[in-house]
């Protein structure tokens, strides 16, 4: 017999239950308040830091779980608690992944600890890729990074948008154009240290959902940073750009850009967030259907309700399995030959939207009110077919991967 198993080990079960307790006892009671306030829930983040949940050590342990399930288990439980607060707690992780995906060991050791701070001085980080005219079309990015060889400094100018923790973060990771002729392949990632002159917060967005998570523009005006803040280093960048130019001359595809390396690594984790939201809404609907009496019996006695719940549970479990598969593949170093990362994010995101809508329908008029959490969950779920690659972009990635053709 082989050793294949979907059973969590004792450590994973303990961590999952520990996070679940924090989500149930700390996040859920605060969720409606911070959704209404549309502000970063600093007290909750600080509580997470006190118990070690918001810390470099914790995320490193989960990131290096040999099964690959540490991060998706964490994400599902936190977002089961609340998506807005959950994103405030894990938003820093996307910037950290940007450094892990593109940085040297020295850069990883230098910058990631500064992204989290410590219990007495909690910090945040922000990953900045999208721009007003460059969302799905990363080749339209305009933020420029120009190398000043005399001073060994990079000078950045441009505007980023949709940045989680943008402008309030201690450390920003910014993707910028270094070679415009190479399009999306001429990008690189940079760390902007704390209190760097020229970086400021632009518009803060008022959003449909995930309102407790701060989302804003980041404006870069003649931002000067040391050459050491180029993730991966100048030598590696020059080599990558040279290879891209050679491949372009030969009419072949080019190497992957910095933003895509970050998004590929994070997509299964984002899928796990969507699974958590869907599961939360399903559980509310299931409990409601078993206790809500109409025509003399609980509404779950009606096939119309029971079958909806059956489909909801099936879709949630299927989404989780896709997330786990992609997470395990990434951890094991197996290539996404069928765009398994995009599959997991696509299906989980669509499932969250569908399941939360069904939960509102099962609760009827109550589901449309703020007395029950499913309307907030439904609002929160909408972003999962938009950010970190829209559903349409995920389908494009999958189609190109399985066909081998440049589908447009």
Annotated catalytic sites, by residue?
388
The end-to-end CA distance of the chain, in Å, is: 45
Q: Nearest 5 degrees, angle CA 144-CA 185-CA 168?
A: 45
Neighbours of 232 (CB within 10 A): 18
Please provide the DSSP assignment of 316-336 as one string.
HHHHHHHHHHHHHHHHTT---
CA 181 to chain centre: 30
The Cα 45–Cα 60 span in angstroms is 18
Distances 176 to 4, 79, 206, 257, 384 between C-alpha atoms, Å: 43, 31, 26, 10, 25
Query: Cβ distance 233 to 152 under 8 Å?
Result: no
Neighbours of 365 (CB within 10 A): 8
Contacts of 294 by beta carbon, 8 Å cutoff, 6+ apart? none
Residue holding tokens 């995930």?
210
| Cα–Cα dist 328/6, whole Å | 11
Return the closest-CA partner of residue 126 out of 189, 206, 197: 189
Neighbours of 36 (CB within 10 A): 12
What distance in Å separates the CA atoms of residue 106 and residue 236, rounded to the nearest whole number? 14
List Cβ<8 Å contacts ≥24 apart for 391-394.
391/346, 391/349, 391/350, 392/136, 393/136, 394/339, 394/342, 394/343, 394/345, 394/346, 394/349
CA dihedral sign of residues 263, 264, 266, 271: positive
Distance CA 183, CA 44 (A): 41
- Least Cα distance to 259 among 333, 184, 323 occurs for 184
164, 214 Cβ separation under 8 angstroms: yes
């Amino acid at each position: 017999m082989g050793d294949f198993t979907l059973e969590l080990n004792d450590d994973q079960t303990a961590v999952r239950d520990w996070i679940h307790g924090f989500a149930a006892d700390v996040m859920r009671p605060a969720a409606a308040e911070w959704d209404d306030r549309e502000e970063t829930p600093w007290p909750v983040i600080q509580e997470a830091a006190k118990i070690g949940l918001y810390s470099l050590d914790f995320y490193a342990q989960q990131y290096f779980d040999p099964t690959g399930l540490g991060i998706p288990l964490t994400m599902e439980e936190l977002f089961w608690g609340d998506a807005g607060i959950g994103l405030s707690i894990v938003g820093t992780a996307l910037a950290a992944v940007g450094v892990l995906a593109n940085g040297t060991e020295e850069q990883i050791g230098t910058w990631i600890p500064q992204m989290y701070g410590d219990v007495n001085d909690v910090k945040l980080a922000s990953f900045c890729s999208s721009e007003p005219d460059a969302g799905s079309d990363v080749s339209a990015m305009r933020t420029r990074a120009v190398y000043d060889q005399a001073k060994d400094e990079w000078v950045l100018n441009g505007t980023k948008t949709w940045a989680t923790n943008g402008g309030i973060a201690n450390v920003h990771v910014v993707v910028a154009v270094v070679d415009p002729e190479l399009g999306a392949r001429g990008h690189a990632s940079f760390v902007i240290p704390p209190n760097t002159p020229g970086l400021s917060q632009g518009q803060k967005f008022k959003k449909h959902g995930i309102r407790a998570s701060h989302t804003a523009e980041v404006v870069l005006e003649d931002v000067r940073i040391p050459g050491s803040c180029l993730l991966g280093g100048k030598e590696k960048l020059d080599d990558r750009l040279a290879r891209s130019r050679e491949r372009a001359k030969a009419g072949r595809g080019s190497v992957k850009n910095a933003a895509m390396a970050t998004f590929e690594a994070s997509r299964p984790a984002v899928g796990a967030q969507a699974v958590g939201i869907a599961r939360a809404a399903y559980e509310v609907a299931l409990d409601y259907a078993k206790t809500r009496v109409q025509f003399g019996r609980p509404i779950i006695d009606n096939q119309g309700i029971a079958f909806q719940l059956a489909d909801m549970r099936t879709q949630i479990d299927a989404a989780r399995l896709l997330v786990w598969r992609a997470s395990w593949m990434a951890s094991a170093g197996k290539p996404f030959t069928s765009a398994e990362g995009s599959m997991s994010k696509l299906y989980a995101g669509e499932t969250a939207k569908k399941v939360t809508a069904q939960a509102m329908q099962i609760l009827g008029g109550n589901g449309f009110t703020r007395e029950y959490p499913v309307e907030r969950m439904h609002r929160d779920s909408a972003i999962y077919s938009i950010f970190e690659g829209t559903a349409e972009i995920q389908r494009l990635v999958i189609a190109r991967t399985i066909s081998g053709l440049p589908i447009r």
